[in-house]
Structure formats: structure tokens, C-alpha cells
Structure 1
Amino acid sequence: MPARLFDAQALLLARRDENRKQSDVATEVGVSAARVSAWETGRSVPDPEKLPRLAAAVRRDLDTLFPRNGRPDLADLRADAGYSQSATRALTGTRTPGPVAAAENGQRRLSKEYEQRLADAYGVSVDALRRAQERSFGHDVPEPGESSAAKTASADSGSGVLPATLAGKITYVLDRMPAPVTDAALAARGNDLVGAEVLTEDLVHDLRTGVVTSASDEVLRALAEALDTTPLMFRSHDAGVERVIAETLVLRNQVAAIAARGGAEAGLSAELLAFISKEVSNARREALASYDHEG
């Protein structure tokens, strides 16, 4: 499920920008001020169905404050409408949320008698509801009128090889990150690491979704820094180079996951983990040096 990207810092800044207290936001969302504080400090993450009210409480557009990287499935539509799964009992007129839960889990499709009720409650058409349902069953159903670049980016990101398009490559890296990252956060990180205002939130969004299909070397470098990869990933069309980059990304994430568990489960010592991490970093620096030489 392409859950919305929750950014604690963005929430905090939006609330302060609107000169609202945590208690004000808490009242509108229906939680305690302590819960809002926990969200803003990253100690916890709000349930998906609370995000619409949370965005409204800080006077921000839902898609802008909490963007989603991908097409919505049934659970996404429900959450965007502000309903918990248990609350759908009132919508379907059933004693349990079973019909909705089964459809969201890709086990049993909704009966037609429920489709119109849920579509009305979610604020979408029946066709949109059915497309979302198919995604819950693992089918990558595009939206009507969706650009071919966006379709390619989505399809590319799920493969085991490095995608061919710039949008696909960006999505490939994002899908393998340990936690969701917003376009705004990527832009800020890239600019900070290269020491220049190269990226903007809108530019990152357009590159990620395929609206913009190419970029200058300066932009690619900042983007690579933000994603902790090499600009060669976006610049090279050599299959061998791309395979090495893809395998390095996988190895880096595996090392990070093992390190997070202390290495004990995999039988790796702290020294060995440090060595592997160092070698991966060295490979990245060598690739970057090669990029500089070629440029």
C-alpha cells in the first residue's frame, strides 16, 4: 500500500506557521495534545485516517503536507476519507468490518451492494473504487489519463533491475529506503549536501513522477546526494554499471538492517559490519570520482 509520507518536521513547521497551539490541533483531530507532541517529535506516527483532519487542522492541503508516492488502494481511499476500518461497519450496514477488511487485504472483493455506499462515503466514483480495489489485489491499475511516464516509473520501480527512466530510478531508490521521505525533505537534504539551492520540492516531485524526464548534472548530483547514491545511477546507460549500482544499493540496505538489529541475528560482529559499511562507502566514492572525471 502506498501510504502517505508523514513528515514530523513539516507538521511542526506548518502548525507554527499558522500560529496554532498543539492543543488547538489536538481538539480538531480528536486526540490529546501529548499525542500531537509525539507526532511532531517523531516518537509516534498518526494512523492514516487521521491525516486528513491533521492537515486541515494546520490549514494545509493533504496531498501537499502528506504526499503519497503511488496510486491509492482501497485502504488509502478509506483513510483519505477519515474512516478507520472498524468505522466502515456503519457504511456497509454489517456487524463487523469484515467485507471491507477482506477486500483491503486482497482476499474477497466487495459485493456490488457495498460499492456505491463506500464510493459515496469516500467521495469517489464507483469506477475509482473498483480500480483501488484491484490494486489491493496486487494489480497495477493506472488512473484514466495517467501519463505514460508515470506508468513507466511505477512499473520500473517494482523490478529487480535498475529502471531505464529517471523517474523509475528515483522511485527505485525511494522504495528501498528504510523510511518514507518527502519531496521537500529530499530537496532540503540535497541542497544542504551540495551547498547550493539546486533542488526544489516541485522539481523533485516532477522528476520523481516523470513530468520532467531529464536534468542538469548539477541537479543530478544534488539528487544523488539526497538519495545517498551516485550520479552515475541517473547518468549511465551501461548495463554492467547499472547492475553494480543496483546490487550496491541492496547490499547497503541489508547492512543497515543488520546493523539496526546489532548484527547478532546474522552472526556478524560490529567490526565486520563496520568493514562492510566502509567498503560500500568507498565504492560509492570511487563511482562519484569516476563521474567527476567523465564530466
Structure 2
Amino acid sequence: MRRAAEITQTEVADALGVGDSTVAGWETGLATPDPEKLPALARVLKRDLNDLFPRYGLPNLADLRCDAGLYQYEMAAVIEMKSAGPVAGAERGDRPLRDKYIPALATTYDVTEEELRRAADRSIAEAEERKKGGGEPETRAVAAAPVATGSPGSLAEKITLVLTSSYPGPQGPPSDTEIADAVNAHAGSQVITEEGVHALRTGTEESTSPVVLDGLAAFLGVSPMYFQPDDAVARQVYEGLRLLAASKKGSVGRVKGRGMGAQGLPSDAMKFVNDLVAELEEREPDADE
């Protein structure tokens, strides 16, 4: 990409404030750039950040900061504190982000306050997942999608949940182009573009036409009802996708059918889930050791 843009390693190094050898290390795979440098790297290579370094999951607090090209220590000045401790703690998911810091951070990251709050919630959810043994979520610098946590609410979260749960292998989820082509094929005409899929997946666009939702459901293998604003349906599909992802990772024992009260899965469905868990555990009894 650098050569296609007719840019030298020295020009990239100068633009990012690093040495020529550092850039050479990135290109040969011996080193990886800091996520905070990815926006500047995309700019100097004249490529869109999401095109050059795609993210399939929704951003957490650290992602938003890195997408703004800022290091954690720089946040002290933004929140007008002596240290960036409050931001660091919120990024780790150790504590909620205090309301008084939200306006300044949202402005600095060029996002809405609601987007910032949702990112903060994801940071806490990811910390809880790590405590349960879920491991570290991947960042934009790595193409693999992070594991979604919690029942999805927005359309973007619903799409992300299916992509991250149904495509856990090294190949990863389908690209925005592949999704757009499949939806258009299902509709029999062009109803969405690659850019449109990206906007829905990242939350830039929060709604779309019924024909697009039908195509998405058909391609992703879920019921069209999943994309409707029904929390009960979303929770049911979430439980099913968690089971699917766990079985593919050999950790199905962590997903016991528990039921979810009046709005949960019917008793016969819960019996099926538990029977399936038992069957998979019999096949691989040591999968959770």
C-alpha cells in the first residue's frame, strides 16, 4: 500500500514521528504499530482507517481514544486532572466513567455522549468477561473480532453479535462487501452498498429498510424477528449464539441453559439446550478443564 501510494518509508516515519527501521519492522511483520498510531498511519497511506484496519466489533473506551490518535497519558489534560487515572480505570473496566468527564472526552474523540457511554459499558462488560476466563478482546490492529458480551440492543450490536459468534475461526467474519453482495442477491437488486453495511455494523446508521433486514437475516442465518426491536427475541437469539460460539471453542460447559423468567426461552427450548450441552460434554468431557 505504501508503494502504491508512492510514499517512502522515511516519509511514513517522519509523519508518525518514528524511525525508518520502525516502519520497516511493521512492514516485515517483526513489530506492530501502537493502536494510537493507526489513524496517522492510515492518513499518510491515504487510506480510510476502517478500510486499512477493519474492526468487526463495536468500540470500547480504549478503541475510541486510539481512533482519535491519542495516548492514555494525554487524557489528563482533556479531563483537567493531574493524571489520566480516571480514564485508565474506566478503560480497564475497573470503574464506571464519571459523568463530569463525558462531555470533554466525547468532544475529543469526536463521538456523541451516548456513543461514549456505550463504549464505557462495553469496557466494563469486557472486564467481566476476562474475569470469567474469556481472555483479552482483540483490537483494531488485529483483524479477529472480539467476543460480544451482553444481550444486544442496537442494530449494530445485533449484527456484531452474529458476526463474532458465528465466525470464530481464523478466517473471521465476512467482509462488508460480501455481506452487501449477499443482501443484494437476496433482494434481486441493489438495496445496499458496502458503505451502507459498514454504517449499519458500526452504528453510524441505526436503521434500514425491511428488505435489507430480510437479506441480512437470510445471509447470517437468523430469524428476521431478531432484527426487530424486541428485547425478548434478542435475548433468546443471544443465548443460542452463546451456545453456538462456546461449542465451536470447546467450552460449551460454560453455557448452561438457565432460563430467563417470563420473557425467557420456553421450557421445551430450554430442555433442548440443556440436552445439547450434555451431549457435547459427553463427546468432549475435558473441554472445559
Q: TM-score, normalised to structure 2's length?
A: 0.52
Shift of 1:37: 1.3
User: Does structure 1 retain, via aligned residues, the 8 Å contact 2:61–2:91?
Assistant: yes
| Higher mean displacement: 29-38 or 178-187 | 178-187
- Which residue in the other structure is 2:175 paired with? 183
Q: 1:88 to 1:141 in 2, by over 3 A?
A: farther
Q: 1:202 to 1:31 in 2, by over 3 A?
A: same
- Which residue in the other structure is 1:108 paired with? 95
- Does residue 152 in structure 1 map to residue 158 in structure 2? yes
- Which residue in the other structure is 1:81 paired with? 68
Q: 1:88 to 1:172 in 2, by over 3 A?
A: same
Unpaired runs of 5+ residues, structure 1, are 1-12, 158-167, 188-200, 221-232, 236-241, 252-295
Aligned residues: 185
Residues in 1 aligned to 2:20 and 2:69: alpha-carbon distance in whole angstroms: 19
Shift of 1:125: 2.0
Q: Aligned partner of 2:165: which letter?
A: Y
- Does residue 71 in structure 1 map to residue 77 in structure 2? no
Aligned-partner SS, 1:59:
coil
Q: Deviations over 1:257-289 (max 9, x none)?
A: xxxxxxxxxxxxxxxxxxxxxxxxxxxxxxxxx
User: Does structure 2 retain, via aligned residues, the 8 Å contact 1:135–1:141?
Assistant: no
Residues in 1 aligned to 2:112 and 2:17: alpha-carbon distance in whole angstroms: 28
Shift of 1:41: 1.6
Residues in 2 aligned to 1:181 and 1:34: alpha-carbon distance in whole angstroms: 33
Aligned-partner SS, 2:6:
coil
- Does residue 57 in structure 1 map to residue 44 in structure 2? yes
Aligned-partner SS, 2:58:
coil
- Corresponding residue to 2:164 among 135, 159, 171: 171
Shift of 1:81: 0.7
Residues in 1 aligned to 2:15 and 2:173: alpha-carbon distance in whole angstroms: 26
Instruction: Please show how residues 258-273 of structure 1 align to structure 2 within 5 Å.
Output: none
Aligned-partner SS, 1:16:
coil
- Which residue in the other structure is 2:141 paired with? none
Residues in 2 aligned to 1:94 and 1:39: alpha-carbon distance in whole angstroms: 34
Q: Aligned partner of 1:183: which letter?
A: S
Q: 1:99 to 1:178 in 2, by over 3 A?
A: farther
Unpaired runs of 5+ residues, structure 2, are 126-148, 180-192, 202-207, 223-240, 251-289
Aligned-partner SS, 1:76:
helix
User: Does structure 1 retain, via aligned residues, the 8 Å contact 2:58–2:157?
Assistant: no
- Corresponding residue to 2:80 among 82, 87, 93: 93
Q: 1:172 to 1:141 in 2, by over 3 A?
A: closer
Residues in 1 aligned to 2:176 and 2:121: alpha-carbon distance in whole angstroms: 30
Q: 1:212 to 1:55 in 2, by over 3 A?
A: farther
Q: 1:55 to 1:116 in 2, by over 3 A?
A: same
Residues in 1 aligned to 2:55 and 2:119: alpha-carbon distance in whole angstroms: 14
Residues in 1 aligned to 2:3 and 2:213: alpha-carbon distance in whole angstroms: 33
Shift of 1:177: 3.7
User: Does structure 2 retain, via aligned residues, the 8 Å contact 1:51–1:62?
Assistant: yes
